[in-house]
C-alpha cells in the first residue's frame, strides 16, 4: 500500500495528486515497509502501539481545556444573569479575567507536564477490524488520582467530577458499527473517533511512522463518508 507523505492518506498507484490534501503523489508517496515502527505490533487484525500523548502541542487537548473552562464561566455567567442582570454587566470583565487566568495556568501546567514526561504521558492505542481502543498509561492514571485528590482537598466539585470521568475512561473502545465519524489531524498525528451518541470520543495518537497505515485502516473500516483529514 502506498501512502501520502504529506497527510498519511492511502493512495492508488496511478494517482498523481493526493485526494485528501492535494499534495503531489509521484515523488511524495512512500511504500510502507513490513515493520512500520518500533513498538508497533502489526498483524492481520490491525495495529497496537504505545506512544506519548502530547498535551501542550495537541490541538485536541488545548481545545478541550478552553471549552471546559469556558463552559464553567458561561454557567456562572448564566446564573448571575438570572439572579441580577444589571450586576452581570459589571461582573462580566471579572469573569473574563478569571477565564484568561485559568487558561494561562492550564497552558503552563500542560507545558510542565509535557516537558516532565518528555513528550507527554504514555498511552496504548489499538486499531483493529472490530474497532478502535485506548488504554491510559501509568502516568495518566497517577495524574488523574493526583487531580482527584487535589480537587477533594480544595473542595472543587467540578474538578473532582472531571477527574472521576477521566478515571472511568482510562480504558475505552468503540466498535466500528457505533462510529459516527473520524477526523485525522496531521499537525499532531492524531485521529479522533466519535460515537454515534456524540459523547466520549476516543483520540488516537500515532507515531510518525505508523500514522499513514493507521489512517488507511480507519478509512477502510469507518462508515463510508465519515472520515475527514485536517491540518489542525
pLDDT per residue as tens digits for the range 86-122: 777 778 888 888 888 888 888 888 788 788 878 888 8
> 132-142 burial by CB neighbour count: b if 16+ within 10 A, else e?
bbbbbbebbee
Helix (H), strand (E) at residue 126: strand 122-128
Helix (H), strand (E) at residue 112: helix 85-116
Q: How confident is the model at residue 3 (pLDDT cuts 50, 70, 90)?
A: low
Q: How confident is the model at residue 24 (pLDDT cuts 50, 70, 90)?
A: low
Round to whole Å and give the CA distance between 3 and 29.
6
**Residues 190, 206 contacting (CB under 8 angstroms):** yes
**Residues 135, 170 contacting (CB under 8 angstroms):** yes
Helix (H), strand (E) at residue 163: helix 157-168
Q: How confident is the model at residue 204 (pLDDT cuts 50, 70, 90)?
A: very high
In the three-class reduction of DSSP (H, G, I as helix; E, B as strand; rest coil), residue 221 is classed as helix
Residue 166 has pLDDT above 50, yes or no: no
**Exposed, middle or buried by CB within 10 Å (0-12, 13-18, 19+), for 82?**
exposed
In this prediction the pTM is 0.64
In the three-class reduction of DSSP (H, G, I as helix; E, B as strand; rest coil), residue 232 is classed as coil
pLDDT digits (tens, 9 = 90+) for 122-164: 888 999 999 999 887 554 444 444 443 444 444 444 444 444 3
Domain 40-53+121-232: CATH class, spelled out = mainly beta
**Mean of pLDDT over the chain:** 74
Amino acid at each position: 500500500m502506498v501512502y501520502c507523505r504529506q497527510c498519511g492518506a492511502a493512495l492508488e498507484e496511478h494517482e498523481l495528486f493526493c485526494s485528501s490534501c492535494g499534495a503531489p503523489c509521484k515523488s511524495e508517496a512512500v511504500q510502507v515497509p513490513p515493520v512500520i515502527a518500533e513498538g508497533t505490533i502489526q498483524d492481520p487484525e490491525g495495529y497496537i502501539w504505545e506512544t506519548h500523548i502530547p498535551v501542550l502541542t495537541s490541538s485536541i487537548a488545548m481545545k478541550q481545556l478552553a471549552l471546559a473552562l469556558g463552559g464553567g464561566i458561561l454557567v456562572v455567567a448564566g446564573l448571575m444573569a438570572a439572579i441580577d442582570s444589571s450586576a452581570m454587566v459589571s461582573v462580566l470583565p471579572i469573569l473574563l479575567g478569571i477565564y484568561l487566568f485559568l487558561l494561562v495556568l492550564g497552558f503552563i501546567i500542560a507545558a510542565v507536564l509535557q516537558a516532565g514526561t518528555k513528550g507527554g504521558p504514555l498511552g496504548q492505542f489499538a486499531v483493529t477490524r472490530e474497532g478502535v481502543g485506548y488504554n491510559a498509561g501509568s502516568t495518566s492514571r497517577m495524574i488523574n488520582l493526583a487531580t482527584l485528590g487535589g480537587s477533594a482537598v480544595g473542595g472543587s466539585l467540578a474538578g473532582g467530577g472531571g477527574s472521576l470521568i477521566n478515571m472511568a475512561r482510562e480504558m475505552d473502545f468503540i466498535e466500528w458499527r457505533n462510529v459516527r465519524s473520524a477526523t485525522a489531524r496531521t499537525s499532531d498525528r492524531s485521529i479522533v473517533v466519535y460515537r454515534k451518541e456524540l459523547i466520549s470520543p476516543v483520540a488516537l495518537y500515532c507515531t510518525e511512522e505508523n500514522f499513514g497505515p493507521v489512517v488507511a485502516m480507519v478509512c477502510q473500516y469507518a462508515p463510508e463518508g465519515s472520515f475527514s483529514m485536517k491540518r489542525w
